[in-house]
Structure 1
Amino acid sequence: MAFAELLERAGGVGLFQALQVFTLLLPSMLVPSQLLMENFSAAIPGHRCWVHMLDNSSEAPANLTSKALLTISIPPGPNQEPHQCRRFRQPQWQLLDPNATATNWSEAATEPCVDGWVYDRSTFTSTIVAEWDLVCDYQSLKPMVQSIYMVGVLLGSFCWGLLSDRFGRKPSLSWCCLQVALANTGTAFASNFLIYCGLRFLSAFGVAGIIMTPVTLMVEWTTTRRRAVTITMLGCSYSLGQMILGALAFTIRDWRTLQLAVSMPFFAIFLISWWLPESARWLIIVGKPDQALQELRKVARINGHKQATKSLTVEVLLTSMEEEMAAAKARRSLLDLFLVPRLRWRSCGMFLVSFSQMVSYYGLVLDLQNLGSDIFLLQVLFGAVDLLGRATTTFLFSFLGHRMTLASFQTMAGLSILANVLVPQDLPTLRLVFAVLGKGCFGISLTSISVYKPELYPTALRMTADGFLQSAGRLGAVTGPLIRMTRQAAPLLAPISYGVIPMASTRTKVTLMDGGTWVAHPASGATPSGQSAYPSPSAPPHSLSLSNKNK
């Protein structure tokens, strides 16, 4: 009898599971507001150089209009709008002549914005870009802070996986919520860009734990047949969180106030998280059966199965978990993923897939301003299409299969991004359509890979493989914003890269992952024949068998 049967004794899926899912959906719903915050807090407003004659009312000639003063003070930019990063050294009076042309001045007559910039505050009253002048020569600092944040998530993923296995899921989640709340609140009061980056890094470190821990708690407190539903609900909460962020940013246009608005709920979630019971499965595996028994009996009472509290004993728990405890001791290393030839190719292919998806995904969702003028609407649409994609993925699997769904929609996502490169800026509606289509395709492909990858590995190596592929995805999330730092020197490099990378990896992954799938049960570790899929600690990795069952 495995732990799943112990859960059935405690009521299976009942009131406790419903309360737990609702509680864990709250922090998960707020994760997008942390990952995508710079879409709004670091939005780049319209700007031009500060000019004495134009912006100092005491020096402005009374007989000239603001438009005339702008003409003689600021040269036209590439789009014939006032240049954002240059100004005339001296007023170009000849440009007031009706017969003058835009070429009646030389580049030598201009200089950088030595006195700062004037910002358009009609959309945002305040952003970190306007507050710390992250424009022109410093515009690459915006994608840099986004990459710093993703580095924090990457390192946090490594650390919180180990810490939650060492100290438990519940204290890890509580600490992460408190860390995010404190770091984000401090970010709202940051006095300079360096402090802002440091606090955002600390926040990202905690967010990594909030991403990982709810999934683990849900899986370990849910019966096998209900697990897919709860994980789907968790994914939908991310989509809903994107929509909430767009609506919240539309209401709050000051970046410090917005930062506080998405920080305060984490203090409440920190307090609520102490209600959650620790994972009984984890408690048994780490040698705390008495505490695990208390948690199981508590769950049974909440689910209305009070009679189960008498039948649940320490002896029953230890007997039921004997196989899983033995499997936990048979630890596997990352090297085991590369010792078996077929596993080696699959691991390389899946690493490439995970990396390429996240490079393009975060390159797309962290650069809303380049996709359309109404970034609030775009954020809400991105969340809505992501929600729709997650809801329809299961149906697509039944028609196309896992592998074909993954390959086809990742290719479509890349094509949508490349199509947007060809659409001029004066066609915002068409650009919006391609952007939303690409986001929806990415949502489906990301869901596909999360379902498909467990089938490619034996149970004994699944957690090791999952950590390896999660790291690949986080590395891609770091790389995505970094590519955008080349925009000033090569404007088309970033969008072309975001479109080509997922398409190029599609053919590779189909080739590398072709073949059988591992069919060992993900929860119990038992194969369909009843044999354990966990080899003994002395068994070589190549002793693992492969089924020819294709998806």
Structure 2
Amino acid sequence: MKFESILEEIDGFGPFQIAIIVLLCTPRIVLPCHFLLNNFIAAVPPHHCDISTLDNGGLFRNLTQAQRLTVSIPVRENGDPKSCEMFAEPQFQLLSNSSDSNDLQRVQCQSGWVYDNSTFTSTLATEWDLVCDRKSLTKTTGTIFFSGVMMGAIAFGFLCDKYGRKNTLLASYIMAMVFGFSSAFANSYILFAVLRFLTGFGLTGITINSVVLSIEWVDVGHRSFIGVIGSLAWSAGNMLLAGFAFLVNDWRTLIMTVTAPLGFAILTWWWIPESARWLLANGKMEKAQYYLDRCAKFNKRQKLSSKLKLETLSNIQILENQDKNYSYLDLFKTPKMRQLTLLTGIVWYGVASTYYGISLNISGFGLNMYLTHFIYAAIEVPAKLMVYFLLNIIGRRKCQAGTLLLTGTCIAINIFAPKDLWHVRATVAILGKGLSEASFTTIFLYTTELYPTVVRQNGLGYTSFISRVGVSFAPLILLLEDVWTTLPQVIICTVAIISGLVSFLLPETLNVRLPETIDDIEKPRRNHVSSHSLESS
């Protein structure tokens, strides 16, 4: 007997499972608030050289502020003051004529910068002057954070299996909250970067454990539903982030605001059950029986009958432990597994890199950044609901490839669309964002169905790591706009299209029995089944 048979008896999708989803909503809402926080705390407001120390007496003192800027700072083509340059000496002749200032001697800012505080009270850029030749450091904080997420995926994947889902989840809550709050009080850029790395590390445990706990308590038929519903919490948190950032303009206060809900999550942790599947796999039959009986009572089903007591649970433990004799190396040992591993890695990198490449670039469409971020988040909801239905109509492969190719097409359109057509560019960008989220929702389910049961956890761990690599590179790709303004978009577009084409090389899994062993991958059989046979199996 397998664990799924036990779930059928006690109801694999009842009030107990819904309660788990509700209890895990708060921490899931916190995730996007931190993952996309850099859009706001690392924003660079308009700025120019500080000229307050120039010639405190004489003619300069009698000028208006606008006149002082005219004689001290060169202007761009649109008439705005340049951000990083000033004249070596005040050029008073510019007040009386429109002579060309290109030949006048210029120097870098000598006494710091003056920032426009109309949108933000303070950001990382204004706190530590991360502008001009140091402006790359604002994007680097995002890469450092996602590097922590990447390392956390490896560490918590191991800890989750060794010490259990529930205990590791509590450690994640505490770590993310402690380091999250601490980063709000950092007094140097280096300390802030270290604390953001550790915050990302801790948050990954929430990502992994919340998904695993939800899935392992739900029957097979509702796993895709749980995947989509659970991901809606991400979209809710994403929309809330726009509201929080709009109301809280100080970066330190904003970090504390989006971290605070983890305190509530710690309180609700006591009601979250441990995974009975993990308990069985680790020989903890009595504890597994306790949670299974608790589930049955909550779902108004009879407790496990005597024939399904410890002896049966012990047999399930043996079956579950058969899946424990595999490692990451088994993903590469055989030819078709190697091919599957390589292809899913490419697709995951493309999905993650595209999604975050779009999400972290919320300017240039004629809308303010708060509204752009909110719309980007809101479009995810219909995108997820749409893909939930399309997955069972056109199949996983076409859905995965189609969403990626269409995302790439939207980016390509905006590369060539004129800047003055901001309404067209904004509409296309929002559509592309929704499609990129649809591809992310699809790949989670698709990957689960592609890998055989014996290495499914390892496969998900590997693809999660690859996706974090893509996420870590996304902020750095955006820095390439200094080389060529549209270069980041060209790269993101290319990655989306290539990963979409690679998706066509993956096998279709719609109405196909899930592979159980590596042999099922190496020697595939015709496993298509009708809905009738699925119901009867």
Please classify the TM superposition score into its range, dividing by the shorter chain length.
Answer: over 0.9
Instruction: Give me the whole-angstrom Cα distance separating, in 1, the residues matched to 2:169 and 2:385.
Output: 27
1:402 and 1:452 in contact (8 A); partners too: yes
Q: Does 1:251 align with 2:247?
A: yes
Q: Does 1:126 align with 2:122?
A: yes
Which piece of structure 1 moves more, 35-44 or 9-18?
A: 9-18
Give the C-alpha shift of residue 117 in structure 1. Answer: 0.5
Give the C-alpha shift of residue 130 in structure 1. Answer: 0.8
Q: Hey, what does 2:463 align to over in structure 1?
A: 469
Instruction: Give me the whole-angstrom Cα distance separating, in 1, the residues matched to 2:306 and 2:507.
Output: 50
2:400 and 2:442 in contact (8 A); partners too: yes
Instruction: Give me the whole-angstrom Cα distance separating, in 1, the residues matched to 2:393 and 2:58.
Output: 71
Shift of the 421–515 alpha-carbon distance from structure 1 to 2, 3 Å rule, reads closer
Q: Does 1:88 align with 2:87?
A: yes
Q: Hey, what does 2:534 align to over in structure 1?
A: none
2:323 and 2:455 in contact (8 A); partners too: no
Q: Does 1:28 align with 2:28?
A: yes
3-state DSSP class of the match of 1:80?
Answer: coil
Q: Hey, what does 1:69 align to over in structure 2?
A: 68
Which piece of structure 1 moves more, 158-167 or 315-324?
A: 315-324
Instruction: Give me the whole-angstrom Cα distance separating, in 2, the residues matched to 1:143 and 1:348.
Output: 29
Give the C-alpha shift of residue 425 in structure 1. Answer: 4.3
3-state DSSP class of the match of 1:287?
Answer: coil
Q: Hey, what does 1:206 align to over in structure 2?
A: 202
Q: Hey, what does 2:4 align to over in structure 1?
A: 4
Q: Does 1:158 align with 2:154?
A: yes
Instruction: Give me the whole-angstrom Cα distance separating, in 1, the residues matched to 2:38 and 2:366.
Output: 16
Instruction: Give me the whole-angstrom Cα distance separating, in 2, the residues matched to 1:516 and 1:218.
Output: 22
Which piece of structure 1 moves more, 264-273 or 32-41?
A: 264-273
Q: Does 1:279 align with 2:275?
A: yes
Q: Hey, what does 2:138 align to over in structure 1?
A: 142
Instruction: Give me the whole-angstrom Cα distance separating, in 2, the residues matched to 1:100 and 1:279.
Output: 74
Instruction: Give me the whole-angstrom Cα distance separating, in 1, the residues matched to 2:509 and 2:309.
Output: 41
Q: Hey, what does 1:106 align to over in structure 2?
A: 103
Q: Which residue identity is paired with 1:545?
A: K
Q: Does 1:546 align with 2:508?
A: no
1:196-246 deviations in Å (ceiling 9; x for gaps)? 101100100011111110111111111222222222111111111110111
Shift of the 284–240 alpha-carbon distance from structure 1 to 2, 3 Å rule, reads same
Q: Hey, what does 1:49 align to over in structure 2?
A: 49
Which piece of structure 1 moves more, 228-237 or 28-37?
A: 228-237
Q: Which residue identity is paired with 2:415?
A: V
Q: Hey, what does 1:524 align to over in structure 2?
A: none
2:280 and 2:316 in contact (8 A); partners too: no
1:33 and 1:245 in contact (8 A); partners too: yes
Q: Hey, what does 1:411 align to over in structure 2?
A: 405
2:73 and 2:86 in contact (8 A); partners too: yes
Instruction: Give me the whole-angstrom Cα distance separating, in 1, the residues matched to 2:423 and 2:242.
Output: 18
Q: Hey, what does 1:445 align to over in structure 2?
A: 439
Identity of aligned residues (%): 33
Q: Which residue identity is paired with 1:446?
A: F
1:170 and 1:276 in contact (8 A); partners too: yes
Taking structure 2 as the reference length, what is the TM-score of the superposition? 0.92
Q: Does 1:362 align with 2:360?
A: no
3-state DSSP class of the match of 1:82?
Answer: coil
Shift of the 454–269 alpha-carbon distance from structure 1 to 2, 3 Å rule, reads closer
Which piece of structure 1 moves more, 486-495 or 261-270?
A: 486-495
Which piece of structure 1 moves more, 271-280 or 177-186?
A: 271-280
**Number of residue-to-residue matches in the alignment:** 529
Instruction: Give me the whole-angstrom Cα distance separating, in 2, the residues matched to 1:59 and 1:22.
Output: 68
Q: Hey, what does 1:538 align to over in structure 2?
A: none
Q: Hey, what does 2:320 align to over in structure 1?
A: 324
Q: Hey, what does 2:13 align to over in structure 1?
A: 13
3-state DSSP class of the match of 2:139?
Answer: helix
Q: Which residue identity is paired with 2:66?
A: K
2:396 and 2:510 in contact (8 A); partners too: no
Shift of the 542–485 alpha-carbon distance from structure 1 to 2, 3 Å rule, reads same
Aligned pairs for 1:281-296 within 5 A: 281-296=277-292
Taking structure 1 as the reference length, what is the TM-score of the superposition? 0.90
Match of 1:179 among 175, 187, 190: 175
Instruction: Give me the whole-angstrom Cα distance separating, in 1, the residues matched to 2:508 and 2:284.
Output: 42
Q: Which residue identity is paired with 2:462?
A: F
3-state DSSP class of the match of 1:100?
Answer: coil
Q: Which residue identity is paired with 1:420?
A: N
Instruction: Give me the whole-angstrom Cα distance separating, in 2, the residues matched to 1:319 and 1:287.
Output: 10
Give the C-alpha shift of residue 385 in structure 1. Answer: 0.7
1:137-167 deviations in Å (ceiling 9; x for gaps)? 0111112111111110111000001001110
1:309-363 deviations in Å (ceiling 9; x for gaps)? 76652123123444333x224x223333334333322322221111122222212
1:264-313 deviations in Å (ceiling 9; x for gaps)? 11122112212212111111111111111122222223333355476652
Instruction: Give me the whole-angstrom Cα distance separating, in 2, the residues matched to 1:60 and 1:481.
Output: 46
Give structure 1 stretches of 5+ with no counterpart.
Answer: 522-526, 528-532, 536-540
Give the C-alpha shift of residue 105 in structure 1. Answer: 4.3
Instruction: Give me the whole-angstrom Cα distance separating, in 1, the residues matched to 2:403 and 2:16.
Output: 37
3-state DSSP class of the match of 2:114?
Answer: strand
- Superposition RMSD in Å: 2.5
Instruction: Give me the whole-angstrom Cα distance separating, in 2, the residues matched to 1:483 and 1:4.
Output: 44
Instruction: Give me the whole-angstrom Cα distance separating, in 1, the residues matched to 2:512 and 2:11.
Output: 28
3-state DSSP class of the match of 1:348?
Answer: helix
3-state DSSP class of the match of 1:51?
Answer: coil
3-state DSSP class of the match of 1:400?
Answer: coil
Q: Does 1:194 align with 2:187?
A: no
Q: Does 1:376 align with 2:388?
A: no
Give structure 2 stretches of 5+ with no counterpart.
Answer: 530-537
2:397 and 2:503 in contact (8 A); partners too: no
Give the C-alpha shift of residue 403 in structure 1. Answer: 1.4
Instruction: Give me the whole-angstrom Cα distance separating, in 1, the residues matched to 2:301 and 2:528.
Output: 41
Instruction: Give me the whole-angstrom Cα distance separating, in 2, the residues matched to 1:270 and 1:307.
Output: 29
Instruction: Give me the whole-angstrom Cα distance separating, in 2, the residues matched to 1:211 and 1:110.
Output: 50
3-state DSSP class of the match of 1:487?
Answer: helix
Which piece of structure 1 moves more, 57-66 or 346-355?
A: 57-66
1:352 and 1:505 in contact (8 A); partners too: yes
Shift of the 191–58 alpha-carbon distance from structure 1 to 2, 3 Å rule, reads farther
1:81-119 deviations in Å (ceiling 9; x for gaps)? 11011011111111112x423x24425x11111211100
Q: Hey, what does 2:483 align to over in structure 1?
A: 489
3-state DSSP class of the match of 2:260?
Answer: helix
Instruction: Give me the whole-angstrom Cα distance separating, in 1, the residues matched to 2:340 and 2:277.
Output: 30
2:159 and 2:168 in contact (8 A); partners too: yes
Match of 1:400 among 384, 390, 394: 394
Give the C-alpha shift of residue 53 in structure 1. Answer: 6.2
Q: Does 1:513 align with 2:506?
A: yes
Shift of the 516–62 alpha-carbon distance from structure 1 to 2, 3 Å rule, reads closer
Shift of the 514–7 alpha-carbon distance from structure 1 to 2, 3 Å rule, reads closer
Q: Which residue identity is paired with 1:264?
A: A
